[in-house]
Structure 1
Amino acid sequence: MGMHIYLEFEEKLSEEEILTRQPQTMRIEVSSRKEAIDKWSAIKKVMPLPQHYEVRIHFCYHDEGKPCRFETIERR
């Protein structure tokens, strides 16, 4: 199978919020780091990042039995 790459948007919760709910997350599969950055550039023109969210690239290696790697693009 191989590695998958995603553009992810994840809500950052306070310590209290973590006890009562899961963060809201959205994931878009992309083919490369460049595609993820280009998609975020296009998306943020029409949808600004809400407070307490992080935009990151998720390099998923689960199919290879390895840990994932994350690269933060923007955080509010």
Structure 2
Amino acid sequence: MPEFMDVHHGMKGITADQLTKAHNADLALEATENVHFKKAWADPESGEVYCLSEAPSAEAVQRVHERAGHKADEVHAVTLSA
């Protein structure tokens, strides 16, 4: 299944607890779109949050994020990795 990296901007000051809660909200809904969120990272200083997922499409990733209450600002296909 294709992988995607999505980015959320404007989350300056996010805490580890908030990141975990947001990631868990995605996990609770991911099966509805056949998405699997593998990992999430955050930089509280810049306010950037990144999520790596496997999904049938970028739109499926975005639908899960929207339902979980934190729409992604960008969703990128990860076509190469090392």
TM-score band w.r.t. shorter chain? 0.3 to 0.5
Rg (Cα) greater in structure: 1
Structure with higher helix content: 2
Structure with higher strand content: 1
Higher relative contact order structure (alpha carbons within 8 Å, sequence separation ≥ 6): 2
Structure 1 length as normaliser, TM-score? 0.35
